[in-house]
Amino acid sequence: MYKKSKQLLCILLALLLLISFASCSNTASSNAAANTAYPLSITDDLGNNVSIDAKPARIVSTSPAVTEILFALGLDDEIVGVSSSCDYPDAAKSKPVLFDYSGPNVESIIQADPDIILSDVAYGIPADTQLLLEKSGIKIVLMTYTSVEDVLDNITLIGKITDKNKEAAALVSQMRSDIGKIADKAEKQEPKSVFINIGGYYTPGADTFINDLIKTLGANNIAQGLGSGWIMIPTEKLIEDDPDVYIDLSAVNSGDLPADKIISNLSAIKNNKYYSYSYSSNETSVISRPGPRLTQALQLLYDDIYGK
């Protein structure tokens, strides 16, 4: 009798622990996707303290990646202005262009009456312009991205700012799952050395999200040790390192062979591991934008590096 009672007690304790664990897990998930409480105070990636009084109803994005995130979170109607580089999804092309390569159109931005401007360092706002816009009552949040994790964090942050926490959490969860699956496939491959040319032998070095994509695939970016950010690699160094794979994102036409004969003897070219994409191609925008299509970029790079 005592033995049976002891067994029953063990079973009940196990069930209580299981229920308790499930409850904690549900609470954590609920908190991660909880509604944003306003006013919201954040510190952006450049150290600026920003206080957001209410859920933004009118948003301007200066960055193609940020624009893609906003659309992915279902914020189509809230977007009242973009930059001339924002061309995906197609609906982004119909939004008013308030930024171009010459910089922001301050008068048009103020007339658009945005609650907030979301930007990143690649499509930043000059300090004097930022001050002028902030004096007009417009909040500005600037983001950076030096890794895959930064991209996921930015999606979460934008979800929090816009009270799209649930949508952001779901998107990040799906992206993490997709990244994991591709990374698992890459682990079974023999590591390759890679060079990515974004034009004029400029290439992503250390502390860039593209370098982190390459690392995620278990490959070696030959420019990683040359410095941080976007750097120019000397042709002599490129020839010396002789990468297994050469990806050119600056071709006039996708599929073009390299125009520079100096690199014609690279192993990548001799072994048909040279891939060129037009600077205006979908492939180039996918690889170069730290947004929700990052997992597509990872798959594209996997195919080029290891084969489909």
Domains and CATH numbers, the chain: 40-172 (3.40.50.1980), 190-306 (3.40.50.1980)
Could you tell me if 119 and 140 are in contact, meaning their C-beta atoms sit under 8 angstroms apart? yes
Q: What distances in angstroms separate CA 236 from CA 112, 190, 241, 242, 266, one per listed residue?
A: 50, 26, 9, 10, 11
Phi/psi region, residue 172 (left: phi>0; alpha: psi -120 to 50; beta: rest), is alpha
The identity of residue 200, as a single letter, is G
Q: What is the CA radius of gyration of the chain?
A: 24
pLDDT the model gives residue 122: 81
List of residues 6+ apart from 167 with CB closer than 8 A: 72, 73, 74, 159
Q: CA torsion angle for 8, 12, 18, 19 (degrees, to 10)?
A: 150
Positions in the chain whose pLDDT score sits under 70? 1-33
pLDDT the model gives residue 29: 41
pLDDT the model gives residue 170: 98
Give residue for tokens 């125009």: 259
What is the rounded CA–CA span in Å between residue 70 and residue 74?
A: 6
Give residue for tokens 């930059």: 83
Sign of CA dihedral 260, 266, 271, 275: negative
Could you tell me if 246 and 269 are in contact, meaning their C-beta atoms sit under 8 angstroms apart? yes
In what helix (H) or strand (E) does residue 15 lie, and over which residues does it extend? helix 2-32
**Total residues belonging to the chain:** 308
pLDDT the model gives residue 165: 98
pLDDT the model gives residue 32: 52
Could you tell me if 98 and 184 are in contact, meaning their C-beta atoms sit under 8 angstroms apart? no
pLDDT the model gives residue 298: 98
User: Angle at which helices 209-216 and 294-306 pack, to 10 degrees?
Assistant: 50
pLDDT the model gives residue 215: 98
